Chains A and B, each alone.
Chain A
Amino acid sequence: MITIAISKGRMQDDALALLAQAGVQLSPESLASRKLAIEDGNGDYQFIFVKPADVPVYVEHGIADCGIVGRDVLLETEADVLLPLDLGIARCRLVVAGKNEHVITRAFGMLRVATKYARIASSHFGSRGIPVEIIPLSGSVELAPALGLADAIVDLVETGRTLAENGLKVIEVITESTGRLVVNRASYQLKAEEVARLTTSLSNVLEGGTAP
């Protein structure tokens, strides 16, 4: 049996739809239940539903053999896992946003950056020699510049609507993020056949262009 950790929230429905097309089905009853760990009908797969940032933790420790999680989370956690498949779901951009494009160059002394992605933000500015003060927040990051907590933010943007409504615009795109299939290094070798079966059927679905 293979255990798959799935990010709760944004990505969950797309991930499950994709898995269903690849022949990995969960019954509606088990999905409706509030259990955090459920098995598929054949007993080939176990699913666990955890917060996005916890997916790499479960996979890195080998408690889950595979996981489905955004690239943004993988970059931020620097998890040591294998990334054999881009699922193309939950596509979005990781951006620097501010009131206008001058905030980066005009900041006096330190640039204050509010973000949920402290590591990505500090390496993004660090590699260009811009000194930054990272202000770690856990949500509603878009508020920070309006209230004067920060000059800019680093955040995930899908449509850009939340940014616009809070008077912010995208200044730089750091990178793109999509949902990825990640695999534990030991499981990749020790459960080679099962992992290959899963990746092959998922990539067949993706190549068939029937992905959600």
Chain B
Amino acid sequence: MDAAPAGSSASAAAPTTGFRKLRKLGKPRRRRLGSRYALIGALFVAPAALYALVIDFGPVLYGFYLSFTKYSPISRSGPKPVGLDNYRTLLSDPEFGKALLVTGRYVLQVLPVTVAIALGLALLANKAFRGVSLFRTALYVPHVVSLTAVSMIWLWIYSDQGLINDALSLFGLPPQKWLVTEGSALNAASAMRVWKALGSNMVLLLAGLQTIPRDLYEAARVDGANAWQQFKAVTLPGLRPMLTYVVAMDIIFLAQGFSEIYVLTAGGPLGSTTTVNYLIYTEAFQYNRMGNASAMAFVLFAFIAGLSIVAIRLGQGRRT
């Protein structure tokens, strides 16, 4: 991060810079504490651990069980075990297959555009100049406002008399129904997600850029490397860990797209924006098919894990 500012905000910057070093120094001195302290340590952890057991681990296990059952919360009987039926049905369910494709396409068309633009912006902002933090803050605003709220703004932007159709009319082009046309609805949502993720990606990549030692650029310049060669030989390798992190995070968030779909298109037209998360929601809470929805959730889990692992492998692979 940038140089520590004066006064109280200096302590605020501490989490990133100061104590990383301290931690390294502190490690060798670690020694076993008495068992009394260990007991107290366990007691301090207990509330958080118990809560996670009830709110995270329990539900994951129960959800996994539900995915092998048929269950409607309205009926008087409990979940009825059906073995692998739900998963088998999903294999041949065109609606679910389409939702997976939509989700995959959504991730793949938002991710590269966002990361590329964010990287460009981070490179521009990396040279320190007055006011750079102003740009950083401004670009970050879309990330802070909830997905639901920004979707409301974009609902207007894409509307008949909204910003985009207004701009088209300047060129004498007819207005388009962006959100209710099968060909454009998912792209419309994607454009909004690019806009929303830009700032946070840029901030992270900028933090990554600032960890690259300046002397490496010096050395490259001495060796006669031009800007592009410097970018390939110094910037990209140095940025790789942060780039990998950013891509993995983007995948995890984008693959769970829901609020924007709910607001902008409600999954339509003709299921062209029905992401897996949206399908799970309708399956579970409109049709009360909890077992089937749970199976979908675990396939989504595997899908996200798979994509993230591929991204992380790619991110680490070329370094060696």
A binds B: no
B interface list, Cβ under 8 A from A: none
